[in-house]
Every structure is written in structure tokens, then in C-alpha cells.
Chain A
């Protein structure tokens, strides 16, 4: 292009003495070069256009130049919008060829390199759509949309930020309100004054579940999902595995009760039906990473159903898929993890566990059944006190246990030989997202030279990255923290300067964790993105 520009003035200078003659031959080579756009190199076209542009610029007065530039911009914008809208709707691919071609030649003055590129791409899209239509493969409509979207919108590389971490953004909240209104799901109100550092998160009250404001039975939300939502928001179902399994069971019920309305395809309609349910559950309690991954797989499976399948067969296939997912990714994975962990548990070990993790519970019970002799120290923290659950179950199995609160951990750590922790999710940078307090235990354990082992199934691996515990977290009901025997904080809301913070999760830096045990074997924390990539390719 630079060479062309440099050649331009020279040529212009060469042509200047004959201004009347130049407009005639100049436009002729320009369209010719553009017509051969597909075959010709960029530089040829550029040079031709550059020459043409320089000649045209010399001829037009400045106001007309400005006007021309404005028109070019508008046309470019219009063409981009048209092309984007057209690419999203695949069935209209063929008739779209017709409007594309008249745009092709166009006035030579209104063309820029980007516009030509856009047109070329539109033509390629249309060809691809034709080919796919011939193959009969429904294919996700998103595929042509993505390469189109990539150059024009830089943010598709980063996934759209979930709503539940954008509570302080009024625009995002308005968008969410509109979406919920469309889906006929109620929006849950925040409760109580929030700590400034966490004003971007929701804070709900356990005593005011969403179901109180809805009319039951609800016409929009399936009753199994309503019950599930209530169980989530009141804390009856806790723990990422439990929540995920409950979610999948509820969706199985939904699928069983589903019947395709006339003139609709099951693959598309069922996904559309599930969307308000997911919004509703999200309002009851923000979805966990395990639930999010499960929903993603389910949606992919539903969309991948061929339209030729009969409804009963398709429903059965989906239910089988859900069963298989739970069996393979959760139950069998737990068995495999337990087997790997058995190699790490030696006789006369003192193992420290925190809170209540179904996986860790299973591992310890299995090891005890296999005859290993060890002692367990259960660490617990206010206000959830989940460790008592773990304690009861371990004692029932006959394992020797000790119980302390998290502030006493520096008293028990000198006698601990290893720490076993569960995880809510494993992030792509190696951070472990788990119940709040886990990072503290990992830190203390490192100070006492005790190895920290984290157990996590691979379906909980996330593509998110996180370095601190602020940006993406969950706030629980602050009244739970105030509920204490002495009751000093009973009237905390009357004091304007006082705030209560009840965090649910925190992120443990990968440097504090020695090993992650997954069903693929023991891995270091840094292998999470490798596993994600391998699983995605599969």
C-alpha cells in the first residue's frame, strides 16, 4: 500500500497535465482490478484503488470529499449489520445470495478494503451454508456466526460476564430484568446492606425464598424445578455434587413430562423450555460450576439430536444420557479417585479434613473399609458448621475423629500428616475454588510442612481464571453470622456503620496445593487447562 501511495503522487503528477483525460481511463482499470478481487493480490487491488483514489481526490473539492467519506462509513456499517444478521439465520442462506450480488459492483467510490473483505466473507458464508444444507447436517447455527463475529467484536474471546457478578452495573441488571420478564420468572430482591468490597454480588435472605412471591402451582416453571429451587435457596441441598445430581434428576423429570408442541422441533424447543428453568434456579441460588458444566453438556446433547428421531426415542435417549453422565462423571469418577487416594493414605496417618465434601467422605470410608488404620481431624467453621455432618458420618463408620474449630488449627497441625480437601471447582490457572476457609488451611499446612491434597472430579474443571476471592464469589445470608448465643449482633441492621460479611467461597492459590487427585490420576494444579483441552477435543 505504501508503495502504491508513493507511486500515486508520481502517477498523479504524471497525469496532472492531462486532467480531462484521466477520469475516463482511471475508473476503467479500477473496477477491473476489483472484479478480479478473488484472484488478485491485495497489493494489486490496493495499488489500483490507491491510484484511483488519488486521482478522484484531486478532482473533488474538499466538502464533497467529506461527504463521500461519510457515505462510505454509513454503507460499511449497513453492510456489516446486514451481513451479521444474515449469517445468524442459516435457512435464509440461499435467498441471501441474491441481495449479496447487487451489493457487489456498487459505486466504485464507496469501496474500501474492509468492505470488500466483508463481502468476500459473506460470499464464503453463503457457500458454506449451501454445502451444509446439502449435507443435511443441522449443525449449530453459531458456527458461521463465530468467525463473522470474531473480527468485528473483540469480546467473543472473553466469555460474556455472568450477571450474578455484575449487580452494581445498572445496565446489566436492566437487561436481566427484561430477560426475566420475558421468561416470566420473578426477580429476587437483595437483602440487607452489603459490604462495599462485594457490592457487585447478590446477597439474599434465606428467609425470603423466591417461591414466596410466586403463585404456586406455577404455570411457567415445572413443579420439580420449583421444589428444587426452594431446596437450593433454603440450603437443604448443599455441596456441588449433590446440587448437580439433584438438578439432573429434576431435568430428567422435566424431559419425561415434556411433549413437543406442533410445528416445533424437539431439539430447539426443549432448549428454549429449559432456559426459564435455569434462570429461575439461578435466581434461587447462583449456579455452581458443576451445575453449569452439566447444563452445558445437556444442552449440547439436546441440540445434537437429529430431527428425524421420534419423540419417545429422543426423550429416552436424553434420559439415558443424564443417567450416564451421573454414573460416569460423578459416581465412577468418585470410585476412581478413591482408588488413587488409597495409595496416598498410609497406616497411622493423621488426616485433616475441612467442612463436608462428599468425595472426601467417600475416600475416607473406602480407605477405612480396606483396612487402613488412621485418625481424622475434622475442622469446622461458623456459620455453616458443615463439619458436624462429616463428623457424624465418619463416626458412624467407626473412624476415630477429633473435632476443632478453624481458629484452633495451629493447635492441631503439628500432629497432622496430610490434609485432604474437596473442591467446588478447579480454575484454568490452577486455583482451587472451594468453601471459604480452605485457602487458610492450605496456608497453615504449608507453614507446618504438611502436604495438601485436593480431590476433584474432572467435570468440575472450569475455563475461568481467578486470582482472588473477590471478583467471583457468593454472599450468603448475613443474619446467619449474627445468630450467636450471646446475640450481640441481633440488631445489626440498625447500625449504619456496621456490615456483616458471610462469604461462601474462596480461591486457593495453586502454590499452596501439592496435588490434585482426579479420576484421570494424580495431577499437579497446573494440568487443569491440559485436561480441559483434552476433554473438549473428545
Chain B
């Protein structure tokens, strides 16, 4: 049918455009935006793609997901959304099959103990699967929209009057969190500018518009000023399975300085940033930008003889973090691995 072929072409074009955009990088979109776009694309694949059984669908999603994550490994929200969709498919299939979730889990345990037990083959075709899965994805999209608000609603439980709060760089979640608290309480914020892009400047301007007393300082003054800070509240790019963070560079220094002064470090991040990867080597997640940001090309004569590094991310180990505030409430870093098992299926950890 020509209509279907056209639609397929359009779909593959859209996927290509998305992958190309991810690969190019540079625009630094919000993680929520990326997550929403990924889900939209996956929904289209499920709606228009040619598949009959759940197993085929999962294979299709997995293939597209691998392509998307390979384009930009540091955008972990893409991979997270793919895994969520896979879990949704498994659940819907299981529900149609008539199996409850509890027994599902018991089966996997049983599988562990007795190697080679029953295996889920996903080969039975079910007609309502498509509609169910799409509905579940819609619910997920609605949940996604409400994450920032959910986190901001918890602000008053954590910020009291006359506090001095420190943050680094720019995070939408933290901005919403602080603005919500500022409606009822009066406190001060110190923002570390986070060279070389100095996103902290944008954060400070936004906070000052709400009449929050904001101070901008250089990254070098973090330890100097920390003795006067009551709480450190930061956002992050990714939460790893052991409760560690992949955050903007400079965060590790901030976390160590907070630990030295016994200042609580609070991370505001929605659950879709939780990634089921463990850190294998601490170097494997690194992403670099042009060294021109650190040392401009006008320094010409020495550029050929030196190395310049400009890493974007930092690894923060879980023992430096006090609390995670997410859309499902507050959690300690030691509980993160458990939350993961509710979101993703163990077989999907490796796409």
C-alpha cells in the first residue's frame, strides 16, 4: 500500500533526523525534551512499524534504540526511555497472557536457582497489544511532564529560612526547586559559575529575577566559601545504578568540599535520568568539547606543543551524596539500585 510505504519512509526519515541531531550535539537540549522526543519516536515506531508478535516488536525497538544510543552515548535518557518502553511491552504482554507481575518476578528467581527453566518467548500474537502499549507510553509521557513540578513541590520540606544554599551550573530542576521555595521562605543562593561555559551565570540571572539573593562566584572559590554554606543542591545529567552521579565538571570538587565541611549534598533529579549502568572504569563516560573553550586559538604559538583537556562531565561517588530528591520522593543513594529494578527489566540492561 503506497500510504503505508510513505509513512514508513517518513518514519525512517524522522529517526534519521533524530539520530543526526543527537550526534551533532552542541545545542544542549534539556533532558526532559530529549526523553519526550525519544518516547514520541518510539510510539510512532510501535504504531506504524510492521510487527506481529511482541518478540518482533522488542527486536525492532532494541535495534532502533541501539542506533540512537550509539549516536550520543552521553545522552543516557535516550537509552533509559528505550528500556522503559521495553519493560512496558513485557508488562503488557504478561498482562495479556494472564500472568501477574508477582509471579513474573518469582519466575526469574526460580530461573536463577534452576538454570534452564521456563523462558518467556514472546511469540504469542495478541491483537490489543499495540493499543495497550501505546496507551502505556502516553501515560509515561504525562508522568514525564509532571516530574519537575513533583520535585519542586518537595522544596519546602528541605529549605528553611535564612539558609545559604550553594549550587553549580544551570539545572532546570534546581531552578524550579529554588523558585518554589522562594515563594514562602527567604534564603540566599551562591552559584558557582562552572567554567568554561559559565552556565551558572544564566542560573543566577534567572534566580535574581525572582528576587532571590544570588551571588555568582568563580569555581575556584568553592572551598573558600563552603564553610558558610548550609546546603548544597545540585542537578545532574545521569544517575548511575550504584547511586553515583555523572554531573557537570566541577561537581566532584563541590561534593568533596561539602563532605569536608559536613554539609549535606542534595541531588534533585527525576527518575528518567536513572541509568542501569554501573561505572566500569571511571573514564569510560568522558565526553570532551573543543579545547578552544579553555585555551583560545589566539594563543597560537604554544598550542602545538601542549595538551589541552576540556571534559564536560565529572564522576561523583555515592558516598559523597546525602539525598536524592526525585519525582517519587526522597531516597538515599544506597536505595537507588532497588528503584532501578522497578523501572527496568534486568534483561534490558544491555540494549
Contacts and interface: CB of A to CB of B under 8 A. Distances in A.
Contact of B256 (A402, A435, A447, A498): A447
B256 A407 contact: no
Contacts of A404: 294, 308-310
A410 B315 contact: yes
B302 A395 contact: yes
Interface in B179-216: 188, 190, 193-198, 201-202, 204-205, 207-209, 211-216
Contact of A481 (B218, B299, B305, B314): B218
A130 interface: no
Contact of B220 (A410, A436, A447, A482): A436
A146 interface: no
Contacts of A468: 227
A435 B218 CA distance: 12
Contacts of B253: 406-407, 409-410, 440, 443-444
Interface stretch (A106-114, A484-492, A521-529): A484-492
Contact of A381 (B218, B227, B306, B309): B218
A382 B218 contact: yes
Contact of A437 (B193, B221, B302): B221
Contact of A506 (B201, B215, B219, B223): B223
A499 B164 CA distance: 14
A383 interface: yes
B223 A407 contact: no
5 contacts: A407-B249, A408-B310, A410-B315, A437-B221, A498-B216
B214 A497 contact: yes
A195 interface: yes
B302 A498 contact: no
A374 interface: no
Interface in B282-311: 282, 286, 294-295, 299, 302, 305-311
Contacts of A495: 205, 208-209
Interface in A447-499: 447, 468-470, 481-482, 484, 486, 488-489, 492, 495, 497-499
Contacts of B195: 381-382, 405-407
A506 B224 contact: yes
B221 A436 contact: yes
Contacts of A274: none
A452 B216 CA distance: 29
Contact of B221 (A400, A409, A498, A506): A506
Given A440-B220, A440-B222, A444-B253, A488 B194 contact: no
Contacts of B67: none
B214 A499 contact: yes
Nearest to B307: A402
B260 interface: yes
A325 interface: no
Contact of B219 (A407, A470, A482): A407
Contacts of A403: 294-295, 306-309
B309 A443 contact: no
Contacts, number: 173
Nearest to A412: B309
B257 interface: yes
B225 A469 contact: yes
| Complex A-B, nearest 10 residue pairs according to Cβ-Cβ distance, in ascending order | A437-B220, A407-B250, A506-B224, A381-B220, A469-B224, A498-B208, A410-B252, A501-B217, A488-B201, A440-B223
Nearest to A440: B223
Chain A: interface size category: 35 or more
| Consensus secondary structure, chain B interface | mixed
B198 A488 contact: yes
Contacts of B286: 411
Contacts of B260: 443
Interface in A403-430: 403-412, 414
A405 B302 contact: no
B228 interface: yes
B311 A408 contact: yes
A360 interface: no
Contacts of B225: 197, 469, 501, 503
A489 B227 CA distance: 26
A498 B311 CA distance: 29
Nearest to B302: A395
A352 B309 CA distance: 14
A443 B252 CA distance: 11
A497 B223 contact: no
Given A407-B219, A501-B221, A484 B198 contact: yes
A500 interface: yes
B215 A501 contact: yes
A500 B216 contact: yes
A376 B69 CA distance: 36
A281 to B, nearest CB: 26
A400 B306 CA distance: 7
A434 B87 CA distance: 55
A489 B204 contact: yes
A402 B309 contact: yes
Contacts of B302: 391-392, 395
A506 B225 CA distance: 9
Contacts of A407: 194-196, 219, 249-250, 253, 314
A290 interface: no
Given A405-B294, A409-B253, A488 B221 contact: no
A502 interface: yes
B309 A503 contact: no
Interface in A27-80: none
B256 A443 contact: yes
Interface in A373-390: 380-383, 388
A500 B305 CA distance: 36
Interface in B226-272: 227-228, 249-250, 252-253, 256-257, 260
B223 A484 contact: no
Contacts of A392: 299, 302
A401 interface: yes
